[in-house]
Amino acid sequence: MEQRKIDFATVDVNSIEPHPKNVRQGDIGAISESLKAHGQYRPIVVDRRTNQILAGNHTWRAAKSLGWSQIAVGFIETKDDDDATRILLADNRATDLASYDDAGLADLLKELITSDGDLTGSLFDGDDVDDLLYKLEGSLGTFDITGVTQDFVSDFAKKDTQNLTLPYSVEQITIIKNRLSQLENKMSINNWAEIIYLLIEKENDSN
C-alpha cells in the first residue's frame, strides 16, 4: 500500500471525538502526568472522513482532563469504517507486541537517577527500578545481604549515626538511597540501618 497522506494541524479539542470502537483501556492519569511534564510531543491520528480518533484516544482524553483547548493532530483519509477499524486495532496491537531491552532500560533509569536524583516525568518510579533490578540481578533489587549479618546490622541500628558502608557502585548506592528514603516514609522509621535489618529478617523468613 502507498504511504497515506497526512495533514498536520492544531485543532479545537472539541472538534474531534474518540472512536466508539476503541476497546483499549489506557492510563489517562499517567498520560496526563506526561503531558504536564513534557507537553504533547507527537500528534494524535484522526480520520478526516469521520473526525474520529484512530490513534491517541487517551491522549485526547488526558488533554481534555487538563483543560486544553487545542490539540495537535495528523489527519488521514480512510476508505470506510472497516479500514478505520483495522487501523485502530493495529495501532493498539503493535503496542501489545512491543517489549523492553531490560538491561538497556535499567541503564537509562540509573542514568536519570544519577544525573537528576529522581525519575520525574519518565512515568517510572523507584519501585519499578527495584523490580527491574530484581529481575536482572536477583536479590540486588531487594538488597544483596551476602556478608551482612543480622547481629552487625542490629548493633549498627542502635548507634546514633547514618554511616553504613556497603559494597555497591555509585549508581546502585543512589538507587538504594532513594529506595530507603521511600521505605523510611512508608515505615515511619528514621534509621536506615533498622530498615535494612527488617529487610534481612523478611528475607530470612522467606527462606
CATH number of the domain that residue 35 is part of: 3.90.1530.10
Whether 1 maps to a domain, the answer reads no
Question: DSSP assignment of 83-138, as one string?
Answer: HHHHHHHHHHHHHHH----HHHHHHHHHHHHHHHSS-TTTT--HHHHHHHHHHHHG
The verdict on 154 and 113 lying in the same domain is yes
Q: Last residue of some domain: 60, 78, 97? A: 97
Q: What are phi and psi for residue 79, nearest 5 degrees?
A: -75, -40
Answer whether 135's CB lies under 8 Å from 141's CB.
Answer: yes
The verdict on 77 and 172 lying in the same domain is no
Domain count for the chain? 2
The verdict on 78 and 110 lying in the same domain is no
Distances (CA, A) of 127 to 111, 113, 179, 182: 16, 13, 8, 9
- CB neighbours of residue 197 within 10 Å: 21
Which residue, chain included where needed, has cell 472539541? 14
The verdict on 93 and 110 lying in the same domain is no
Is 190 buried (19+), middle (13-18) or exposed (0-12) by CB count in 10 A? Answer: exposed
Q: Last residue of some domain: 53, 71, 97? A: 97
The verdict on 120 and 90 lying in the same domain is no
Domain range holding 43?
7-97
- CB neighbours of residue 47 within 10 Å: 20
The verdict on 31 and 113 lying in the same domain is no
Which residue, chain included where needed, has cell 489506557? 26
The verdict on 142 and 159 lying in the same domain is yes
| pLDDT tens sequence for the chain (207 residues) | 788 999 999 999 999 999 999 999 999 999 999 999 999 999 999 999 999 999 999 999 999 999 999 999 999 999 999 999 999 999 999 999 999 998 899 889 888 888 877 888 999 988 888 788 777 765 333 444 444 444 444 444 444 444 444 555 555 656 666 666 666 666 666 665 666 666 656 555 655
Q: Last residue of some domain: 41, 68, 97? A: 97
